[in-house]
Amino acid sequence: MQLWNLLKQVFSRPLGCISATVLLSLYAAAVCANFLAPYSTNEQDLTRTYHPPTQIIWGEGGLRVQAYALVDPTEARYAPIAGQSYPLKLWSRGFEYKILGLFTSDRHLFTVADPGGRVYLLGSDSTGRDVFSRLVFGARVSLFIGLLGISITTIIGFLVGGLSGYFGGRLDFWAMRVVEFMMAMPGLYLLLALRSALAPHFASDQMFFVIVVMLALIGWAGTARVLRGMTLAIRQNQYVMAAESMGQHPLVILRKHVLPNLLSYLLVAATLSIPGYVLGEAALSFLGLGIQEPSASWGLMLSQAQDVKVFYLNFWWLLTPGAAIFITVIAYNVLGDVLRDLVDPKLKKRI
Amino acid sequence: MIAFILRRLLTLIPLLLGITMLVFILMSLAPGDFLTPVKAQRDVPQELIQAIEIEFGLDQPWYVQYYKWLGNVLQGNLGHSWAYKLPVADLIGQRLWTTFLLSLCAFVFSWVIAIPLGVLAAVYKDSIFDRIVAALAYTALSIPEFFLALVLVFFAAQTGWFPLGGATSLDYEFMGLWAQLLDRAHHLILPTVALGIGSIASIMRIMRANFLDTIAAEFVTTARAKGLGEASVMFKHVLRNAINPLISSFGFAFSGLLSGALMVEIVLQYPGLGQLMYQSILREDQFVVLASVMMGCFMLVLGNLLADILLARSDPRIRLEGKR
Amino acid sequence: MGSKFDGKCSKMIGVLSGALAVFWATSCNQPAKIERPEVIVAPVPVDALQVEFASGEFGANIIETMAGDIATVNPLVNESAAGSLVIGRILDSLTTLDTNTGEVIPNLAKSWEISADNLQYTFYLRKGVHWSDGHPFTADDVLFTWSTFFAKKIDSLTGAVACDANGQPQYRYNSRSTFGQRINGREPQLEKIDDHTVRFTTPEVYAPFLLFGGGVELLPRHILNSAFEDGTLMDQWSVETAINQPWQIVGLNMFVLESYRPGERMVFAKNPNYWKVNPAGQRLPYVNRVITKIVQDVNSSNVAFAQGLTDFESIAPDNVAWVKRGQARFDYQVLDLGPSNSTNFLWFNLNPGQNEQGQPYVAAHKLEWFADARFRQAISYGINRPGIIRGVYFDRADILHGYVSPKRKFWYNPAVRKYDYLPQRSRSLFLEMGFEYRDGRLFDTQSRPVTFSLMTNSNNGLRVEMATVFKENMASLGIQVDLQFLDFNTIVSKISAAYEYEACMLGLGGGAPDPYAGKDILMTGGRMHFWNPQQLKPATAWEARIDELMRKIGRHTDVALRKSYFFEVQSILAEQQPLIFLVSPKDYTGFSNRWHNIAATPLGGVRWNTESLWAEPNK
């Protein structure tokens, strides 16, 4: 119930409301990617590479997509053909996909029925793939790696931090030395070293999980330390000491007394750490060491934008995945700040 | 003070040993050994390969290899790079300087801008200025460094005002001394901005918070009661007290700079340690990867140590606490 | 202002001046000056070649960039394009190609005679030519160079020539030239007539001898002979030599290596003993130094040129559009030289061998697919080449239907089987092989899903995009392709040493116009016979036929006959598709307008007459 209260309070604050809404919509978009995206991630169109975003206009009683002609193939320059456009259909049929692996559907939010037309909300990339579709599918990877990673980290961090804070003594001492050791290493360097050690043993489609594991392994130390401090504080409480003297098993005490008090702090810590994971995955994929083709991820899309001709010929839409990462990170940061202020303003110094 | 430093240095040794061992284990997890890509090359003399195999014990289990490697490192022999055909020590030496210079510039840049901004934001608390600065800080904190670097390269390509990468121009060696300094500075501008902006935001926020905390302290009320001018109160008393806790963030700032420098160096093709590490990973130049990860860790640990020393210097409680 | 604030001020100043000091220290990080021996400048040779271009001013420098670094400067060891470029600047040969007509013309040999039976070639060397260190150039150097190719290994116990399992003599220094200069397995004989005359006797009629034999880069006997004798020849002229003692790399071409910093730059100085003069009798080249900066990749290289920082550049086809924008501002030109010699192709590993652990290089069932010509043909029909040209190359490339690019109009066989984008044909070929489609996926005769991995080099952006397109093309045929983007050196070691891969996409550039130039690729046992390198015997009937045809091409001098044989080679290649050719990018070259005597030719670009190029020496 504490959580529910917390959520209500978050939404009552303007910043909290905005950031939470942004995040929820991003995740919703990722889940419904198949529905939102007019094209699949790998649908190429070699006659429309580096196409700018198509204009949406109103005409003939409905939404229409402007048609373009290739004016200069040597520069990939397109110009709108005056008066020619394709009707944009909503709730229409497109490529087939499976919902939850069970039901097949081919409905999409919007498509262009005419086979000669294309709707590129955010332009197309070097092989004519729709950037908007890839962005939406990429959200699945980039956003869920964060959630998955943080769950693993929080579990490890809680176990290590909670147990060492509760039992104290030698366990605490050595656990904290290990934590300090982990925190003494620059994250990205270690990530790269881990990656070059682990990657050759796994196939490319297992990379998603390998990355999650790597990020979790690097991130748990900070969480563990904070949780240990808090467990120490909670342990001093009378009801905990009472439970101990009653002979309750330590793990039971941890679960029934320590954990509920920690939950809100856990939430804050998690929210403020997720951006690190999103950025970690983006950095790895950007370097070509993370998610690889055919999957789309925001970092991978950005690496494909790192081409000199993109800069000189002004294909700005290829940089939109960066904006997506930015929005996600800033939303998480704002939400995390709001949560932290709500839970305990004194936390500002510690987390 | 000296005793404190010595004590801290002593605790560093197991830490460094642990880091090197961990990285070494990681590297040995990769398939093949350090010499696999080299054996296929035809221009490396057999003698050199054999000599290195013996020196580093490459046919032995990993702990023997680690022991030998450690021994070699302490003698200054970090192995041989196949991609660059140089001893790794020489290679790292060149690159270390470059990364350090970049980090230093970003550090100075961020402090020089963040501290006045933080002070002003605190002084004009809750004004439009404060809010705008806060919003900018959020933005700056949230932009991924490599994306910012990409945007800056875009900007440089479109305007032509800045070079698109590298540390020096093509004809650097044929320039006079002043021209060389200016050239280096010109090439440092974009990487420094990309790297420093995130730091500006965090330092500014902390500065503002500290300043506000300090203003509420009692000695400030005393100073005002004594009749000191507002400016004097603000700068002489509040500022110097507010800055001290910031020094503890030195270590974190350095860590962030080091990791961020890696991405910035790669995007902007700045020839530093991070870029070296990345290239070596791609080319499976194992000795270099090992050495550069090590170097990165060392720099970080040293940065933390420096932060601790500075903090101890300004806050005697820390010095005394360690004695217990 | 209190003392603490002053303290802060001084701290700040301290930090800044510290930074300045670091600037200075790092910028002063120059290597120690190399002590080099005194260079002897010999007089202008009696037989110096006088160029026809107008005389110009001396003293300018060429500034250029090079994508990629060298691994060695030893021509017997070198396998990279960067290395060939550098070595080609320092070493020279007896004959060369006329870049206008494509014919073989005199170079260091001022003339030659061919005997009536076409077996003996007598070269008359130019008199008075000296090596870059002042030592005279004589026929001994020519003999020495060829002896390094064919020196035999002597068994230290018996004192006789060592032989391998097949009874073939083993060579002491097994370089590319050892295979490449043998004519149908036998060595040409060489004798010295006098100090300036050599005579070659080929074991049989070998039409391209003037080009390939005459084009051998000559090595200095006085520098390398002792290494040749004691067996360390292949270790000479390594990167270490280039860094520490570059003056050891002595040659006859217009430049010598002055200094080299790996990964950074190379500086060439002009050869003070070069053997060409301008119409006024002054020794060429006009250029004083060539400063080559080593950059990451082609894109950085093009960017540097587009900002007016370099003098000559080969522009990638997708960059031409924006590089052209700077022509007026930075005073350079971009020329379209038409179709290039560069090719892009992919192939399947047909090596049936096993690695040291006894595992086959290619899984047996996959090898079965790859070895069937219909499989390869089907793949070829399924590749959208026009789409690649339009989308990836921005229309600045040509389709390659076969081994010969349309640039070589004379040797190009227009009647070969072409593989237009016909996925339907692919499907019918697969069905013919007994494969079947289930749910859009392709399965072979044993119901295994058809899938393979393709590797290509990660630092070539256009090739990466082509691989992505290929993957999608294959996906629409129901085949899953896993892409691996690897470092170029890793790829080279896999295709020439480790052999553990399934398919690879690469490209080749350059190559002389004579059809026999391809023998390293096309003939069994060649080092570049990519799909099964260094195999001892042809594995299939068509490979045997190609071997036979190539030998005939070498043996006959009648051009029409050679052409008919080569046409047949091309049609066999097109039919069998051991190499599936993709596209050939067009050639674009850029140069700064400050250079005079530029004479662009399709075969030679703008730098074929570097010795005659001059600019105002203000740079």
Q: What is the pLDDT of residue C3?
A: 39
Tens of pLDDT, residue by residue over A99-108, are 877 888 888 8
Tens of pLDDT, residue by residue over B7-55, are 777 877 777 788 778 877 777 776 666 666 666 555 556 666 777 777 7
- Residue A132 one-letter amino acid: F
Q: What is the pLDDT of residue B42?
A: 53
Question: Cβ separation of A74 and C396 shorter than 8 Å?
Answer: yes
Q: What is the pLDDT of residue A21?
A: 92
Chain A residues touching residue B296 (CB < 8 angstroms): 186, 189
User: Which residue would you say has higher pLDDT here, A198 or A172?
Assistant: A172
Please compute the mean of the pLDDT values over residues C78-89 and round it to a whole number: 86
Give C5 to chain B, closest Cα distance, Å.
Answer: 7
Which tokens sit at A141?
Answer: 């990877």
Tens of pLDDT, residue by residue over C334-388, are 999 888 888 899 999 998 888 878 888 888 899 999 999 999 999 999 999 999 9
Question: Cβ separation of B300 and A184 shorter than 8 Å?
Answer: yes
In DSSP terms, C123 is beta-bridged to C112, C198
Q: What is the pLDDT of residue C424?
A: 94
Nearest chain B Cα to C79, which residue?
B42
Q: Is-contact B263 A191, C-beta < 8 A? A: no
Distances (CA, A) of C191 to A139, A235, C129, C219: 73, 97, 20, 17
- Could you tell me the pLDDT band of residue C31, with boundaries at 50, 70 and 90? very low
Q: Is-contact A292 C483, C-beta < 8 A? A: yes
Mean pLDDT of chain C: 85
| C322 has a chain A CB within 8 A of its CB | yes
pLDDT at C270 over 90: yes
Please compute the mean of the pLDDT values over residues C204-224 and round it to a whole number: 89
Tens of pLDDT, residue by residue over C435-482, are 999 988 999 999 999 999 999 987 788 898 999 999 999 999 999 998
Query: What is the distance between the alpha carbons of residues B75 and B86, in angstroms, rounded to a whole number?
Result: 17
State the Rg of chain C over Cα.
Answer: 27
Distances (CA, A) of C125 to B79, C46, C92, C110: 48, 11, 13, 6
Find the CB nearest A46 among C299, C320, C388: C388
Tens of pLDDT, residue by residue over A81-120, are 888 888 888 888 888 888 877 888 888 888 888 888 888 9
Query: What is the distance between the alpha carbons of residues C553 and C546, in angstroms, rounded to a whole number?
Result: 10
Which tokens sit at C257?
Answer: 């290596």
In three-state secondary structure terms, A327 is: helix
Q: What is the pLDDT of residue C393?
A: 92
Instruction: Print the SS3 string covering B259-285.
Output: HHHHHHHHHCCCCCHHHHHHHHHHHCC
Residue linked to tokens 């320059």: A77
- What stretches in chain B show pLDDT beneath 70? 30-48, 83-85, 218, 232-234, 236-237, 245, 248-256, 258-259, 311, 314-324
Please compute the mean of the pLDDT values over residues C278-295 and round it to a whole number: 90
Q: How many CB atoms lie within 10 A of CB A172?
A: 18
Query: What is the distance between the alpha carbons of residues C391 and C263, in angstroms, rounded to a whole number?
Result: 33
**Reported ipTM:** 0.82
Q: Is-contact B190 B264, C-beta < 8 A? A: no
Find the CB nearest B164 among C5, C71, C303: C303
Upstream peptide bond of C352 is cis (omega within 30 degrees of 0): no
Tens of pLDDT, residue by residue over C121-158, are 999 999 999 999 999 999 999 999 999 988 888 777 77
Q: How many CB atoms lie within 10 A of CB B104?
A: 17
Chain A residues touching residue B266 (CB < 8 angstroms): 287
Please compute the mean of the pLDDT values over residues C191-212 and round it to a whole number: 90
Which tokens sit at B276?
Answer: 């070296």
Question: Cβ separation of B43 and C71 shorter than 8 Å?
Answer: yes
Give C77 to chain B, closest Cα distance, Å.
Answer: 6
In three-state secondary structure terms, A107 is: strand
Nearby residues of C474 by Cβ (< 8 Å), 6 or more positions away: C379, C382, C480, C481
pLDDT at A12 over 80: yes
DSSP sequence for B21-33:
HHHHHHHHHSSS-
| C307 has a chain B CB within 8 A of its CB | yes
Mean pLDDT of chain B: 78
Which tokens sit at A168?
Answer: 């104290």
Tens of pLDDT, residue by residue over A67-79, are 888 888 888 889 9
Q: What is the pLDDT of residue C30?
A: 45
Question: Cβ separation of A73 and C390 shorter than 8 Å?
Answer: yes
| B29 has a chain A CB within 8 A of its CB | yes
| C592 has a chain B CB within 8 A of its CB | no
Q: Note the helical H segments in C159-271.
A: 176-180, 209-212, 221-230, 239-244
Find the CB nearest B108 among C1, C19, C309: C19
Q: What is the pTM of this model?
A: 0.83
pLDDT at C329 over 70: yes
Nearest to C80 by CA among C239, C202, C232, C210: C239
- Residue B113 one-letter amino acid: I
Which tokens sit at C162?
Answer: 């060592």
* Residue A241 backbone phi and psi in degrees, to 5: -65, -35
Find the CB nearest A333 among B141, B146, B282: B141
Query: What is the distance between the alpha carbons of residues B99 and B90, in angstroms, rounded to a whole number?
Result: 15
Q: What is the pLDDT of residue C523?
A: 82
Question: Cβ separation of C391 and A313 shorter than 8 Å?
Answer: no
Query: What is the distance between the alpha carbons of residues A66 and C105, in angstroms, rounded to a whole number?
Result: 60
- A246: exposed, middle or buried (C-beta count within 10 Å: 0-12, 13-18, 19+)? exposed
Q: What is the pLDDT of residue C201?
A: 93
Tens of pLDDT, residue by residue over C463-473, are 989 999 999 99
Residue linked to tokens 């796994």: A202
Q: What is the pLDDT of residue C504?
A: 94
Q: What is the pLDDT of residue C9?
A: 43
Query: What is the distance between the alpha carbons of residues B217 and B207, in angstroms, rounded to a whole number?
Result: 15
Give A177 to chain B, closest Cα distance, Å.
Answer: 9
| B106 has a chain A CB within 8 A of its CB | no
pLDDT at C325 over 70: yes
Give B183 to chain A, closest Cα distance, Å.
Answer: 22
Q: Is-contact A86 A67, C-beta < 8 A? A: yes
Q: What is the pLDDT of residue C443?
A: 93
Q: What is the pLDDT of residue C178?
A: 79
The listed range with the strongest mean pLDDT (B293-302, C21-30, C65-74) is: C65-74
